[in-house]
Structure 1
Amino acid sequence: MTDQPEEIRVLTAADLPALERMEIELFGAAAWSPESLASEIVGPGRWYVGAVVGGELVGYAGLWFDGFDAQVMTIGTDERFQGRGLGRRMLDNLLDHARTVGAAVVLLEVRVDNDPAIQLYESVGFERLGMRRAYYQPGNIDAWTMRLDLRGREEPA
């Protein structure tokens, strides 16, 4: 698998079948419906990218920009491809886009038991703001709310 070409690119309607499959695998009962996914990836202020390995969509990430702040909507990578840095590359793409559109701050919520994601976000400078109780995911697991201030921050090397 390591010699397969990898790319991060903007999602299109042609990616919906693979996106639906991954959404169900990653989020189970909390997965977005196909209709919601279709409207979300092209919605106003939305920026969705995918990780492609060997021609297969194996990860996706999304950002929403409201004119001032941006919010990471999701980052997910197929289990077969986790640990290869694809999540970081997609996050970097989202943050680059947030800077391009002039976002002052990037916000997100992440389950308190998702240590790899928490480490990823903290590694690029996100700070924990507080805990959201009974997060919307199945099981009412709590989530950290996190924030990255882009004002005055230079792009990472």
Structure 2
Amino acid sequence: MSVEPRQLIGVRGMRSRDVPAVLEIEQVSYGYPWSERIFRDCLRVGYHAWVATDLDEQVIGYALLSVAVGEAHVLNLCVAPDARGHGVADRLLEALIGQAEAERAERVLLEVRPSNKSARRLYKRCGFERIATRPGYYPAPDGREDALLLALDLI
């Protein structure tokens, strides 16, 4: 494609009608995907949720964030396999950080699998730093995988 990715996509609030497309991306992206109920519960309780769309308004990525007591937590950020590598995750992460700043969060936290090298590069590029390891946090085919706990200080 010759179109710049930032011209190609938009980021908007996730709607209930987006959940089937979000769930499809989740299921092809993860061995242990979130259920439809988890996504609907996140919307119901008011977590901040966004989708990235292409020119045809097709959902190509999504992100969810909770904010409480001065701390924001990235709950999920995922891009459709055929849309990866085009800046979609960057745009979604910008939306998450912007929301955290708007709510005066002092810090943004997230967990990432050590094996998810592309996500780790994204977070490093955006200024996140490793602050801890959560042993056995994620389910994995051979048992459990640790999570790296990353933080971005906003103040």
Mark yes or no: TM-score above 0.5.
yes
Instruction: Specify the code of the residue in structure 2 equivalent to 1:129.
Output: I
Q: Deviations over 1:11-34 (max 9, x none)?
A: 000101101111111123x21221
Q: Which residue of the partner structure matches residue 130 of structure 2?
A: 128
Taking structure 2 as the reference length, the TM-score comes to 0.90
SS at structure 1 position matched to 2:45: coil
Q: Distance in 2 between matches of 1:51 and 1:125?
A: 22
Q: Which residue of the partner structure matches residue 112 of structure 1?
A: 114
Aligned partner (choices 138, 144, 153) of residue 149 of structure 1:
153
Aligned partner (choices 25, 30, 53) of residue 28 of structure 2:
25
Tell me the number of residue pairs that the alignment of Structure 1 and Structure 2 aligns: 149
Aligned partner (choices 50, 73, 89) of residue 91 of structure 2:
89
Answer with 90-99 or 67-76: which moved more.
Answer: 67-76
Report the CA distance between 1:138 and its aligned residue: 2.6
Q: Deviations over 1:51-90 (max 9, x none)?
A: 1013210100111001310000111000100000000110
Point out where structure 2 has 5 or more consecutive residues left out of the alignment. Answer: none
Q: Distance in 1 between matches of 2:114 and 2:22?
A: 25
Answer with 33-42 or 96-105: which moved more.
Answer: 33-42
Check the 8 A contact 2:108/2:152 in 1, yes or no. Answer: yes
SS at structure 2 position matched to 1:96: helix
Check the 8 A contact 2:11/2:53 in 1, yes or no. Answer: yes
Q: Percent identity?
A: 31
Taking structure 1 as the reference length, the TM-score comes to 0.89
Alignment of 1:9-24 (within 5 A): 9-24=12-27
Pick the structure with more strand per residue: 2
Q: Distance in 2 between matches of 1:100 and 1:8?
A: 17
Answer with 2-11 or 127-136: which moved more.
Answer: 2-11
Q: Distance in 2 between matches of 1:92 and 1:101?
A: 14
Report the CA distance between 1:96 and its aligned residue: 0.3
Q: Distance in 2 between matches of 1:58 and 1:11?
A: 12
Q: Distance in 1 between matches of 2:68 and 2:13?
A: 19
Q: After the TM superposition, which segments of 4 or more aligned residues of structure 1 sit over 2 Å from their partners?
A: 1-5, 136-139
Q: CA RMSD in A?
A: 1.5
SS at structure 2 position matched to 1:134: strand
Point out where structure 1 has 5 or more consecutive residues left out of the alignment. Answer: 152-157
Q: Distance in 2 between matches of 1:18 and 1:79?
A: 13
Q: Which residue of the partner structure matches residue 155 of structure 1?
A: none
